[in-house]
Amino acid sequence: MAARGKPAGGGDKAAEAEEERRVLEPGAAPFGNFPSYSHFYPPEQRLRLLPPELLRQLFPPDGPETRPILGLDVGCNSGDLSVALYKHFLSLHDGETCSDASRELRFLCCDIDPVLVERAEKECPFPDALTFITLDFMNQQTRKVLLSSFLSQFGCLVFDIGFCMSITMWIHLNHGDQGLWEFLAHLSSLCRYLLVEPQPWKCYRAAARRLRKLGLHDFDHFRSLAIRGNMANQIVQILTQDHGMELVCCFGNTSWNRSLLLFRAKHTMETHPIPESLIEEEKERNRFKILQAMI
Ligand SMILES: C[S@@+](CC[C@H](N)C(=O)[O-])C[C@H]1O[C@@H](n2cnc3c(N)ncnc32)[C@H](O)[C@@H]1O
């Protein structure tokens, strides 16, 4: 795979120094590229809301043609959540590996921050199944080249599922309303299903406050954003009204009050109907909420 992550200053020492600098200076993480993000927002909090059998239900094996389910994790940080999702959906326990795993499920995980990507690569226990690349997802040219190069290995044009976890706010703050709209447009054209965990508006205020406290410039777009308020609702509207997706379900809220929303591209409805069992299970567990009831 081209464009693997490179240490910012060359080597472990430089990466460590860079990480330390960013822990001490949170304002120096302008993309949400916090080095210890998963310590504050542990993957388990999200996983407990997601049925482990989700992917098997969305993509039941059909016919002799076997290719892995392909996932795209955008804004993977240092890969902790990517690895946790991978294990969760294959029901792997700690320390357990599965020789067939990479034939069942493959993830392409990208992040704008090369230091985090390097760490993710180094620490990943499933290097055959998870590919980490440095990519600014808003860079159309690089995105196209890197994503198609991955997909073409499997003869595919799109990913089966995209994970978009706690990144929408950073795209929005750094690229404005138009940037958020385009980000969601690209994702919906690239993925048959999309799992989104939007940050609520109060996180935007907190991020802007942090910068002010550090005496740094405000985010370019913060004050002029017209898309604001109930961000989960706003994102549902953009994806469903503008980008041809429909909301399948909300798996509930994390303890830090972010909802997990599953969308599906409408044009794939015929070939991949929502499994009844998934709907029933979610109802039973009282975790299934239709948007109107939720927002
Ligand atoms: C708050 S962290 C979320 C990490 C992980 N998804 C999770 O939920 O645990 C947001 C991540 O998005 C990445 N990010 C922000 N803007 C990006 C962009 N334009 N392209 C790729 N990654 C980006 C940041 O570097 C950061 O690691």
More confident call, 162 vs 56: 162
* pLDDT, mean of residues 154-171: 97
Ligand 1: does its nearest atom lie under 6 Å from the Cβ of 282? Answer: no
Nearest to 137 by CA among 107, 108, 106, 102: 108
Ligand 1: does its nearest atom lie under 6 Å from the Cβ of 116? Answer: yes
Residue 281 scores a pLDDT above 90: no
| Distance from residue 96's CA to the centre of ligand 1 (Å) | 27
Q: How confident is the model at residue 214 (pLDDT cuts 50, 70, 90)?
A: confident
Residue 294 scores a pLDDT above 60: no
* pLDDT, mean of residues 19-26: 51
Q: How confident is the model at residue 261 (pLDDT cuts 50, 70, 90)?
A: very high
H or E element, residue 40: helix 37-40
Residue nearest atom 3 in ligand 1 by C-alpha distance = 166
Tokens of 7: 């240490």
The pLDDT value recorded for residue 290 is: 36
Residue nearest atom 2 in ligand 1 by C-alpha distance = 32
* pLDDT, mean of residues 160-182: 97
Residue 210 scores a pLDDT above 90: no
User: Please, what is the average pLDDT of the chain?
Assistant: 83
The pLDDT value recorded for residue 51 is: 96
Nearest to 75 by CA among 41, 44, 109: 109
Ligand 1: does its nearest atom lie under 6 Å from the Cβ of 234? Answer: no
* pLDDT, mean of residues 214-220: 79
What is the percentage of the chain residues whose pLDDT exceeds 90? 62
How far apart CA 122 and CA 99 sit, in angstroms, is 20
| Distance from residue 264's CA to the centre of ligand 1 (Å) | 22
Ligand 1 atom at shortest distance from the alpha carbon of 78: 27
* pLDDT, mean of residues 210-223: 82
Nearest to 241 by CA among 266, 258, 274, 260: 266
CATH assignment of 66-92+100-294?
Answer: 3.40.50.150
Residues 32/166, Cβ–Cβ less than 8 Å = yes
Residue 14 scores a pLDDT above 50: no
Residue of 49, 111, 259 to mutate, ligand 1, most atoms within 8 A of C-beta: 111
Q: How confident is the model at residue 49 (pLDDT cuts 50, 70, 90)?
A: very high
Ligand 1: does its nearest atom lie under 6 Å from the Cβ of 79? Answer: no
Task: Say which range, 103-107, 164-168, 218-222, 243-247, has the weakest mean pLDDT.
Answer: 218-222
Residue of 86, 112, 116 to mutate, ligand 1, most atoms within 8 A of C-beta: 112
Encode 90-146 in three state secondary structure.
Answer: CCCCCCCCCCCHHHHEEEEEEECCHHHHHHHHHHCCCCCCEEEEECCCCCHHHHHHH
Ligand 1 atom at shortest distance from the alpha carbon of 73: 6
Residue 289 scores a pLDDT above 50: no
Q: What is the pLDDT of residues 79-101, one digit of tens each?
A: 999 999 999 999 987 777 666 66
Question: What is the DSSP-derived secondary structure letter of residue 27?
Answer: G
The pLDDT value recorded for residue 66 is: 79
| Distance from residue 178's CA to the centre of ligand 1 (Å) | 18
Ligand 1 atom at shortest distance from the alpha carbon of 31: 15
Residues 83/101, Cβ–Cβ less than 8 Å = no
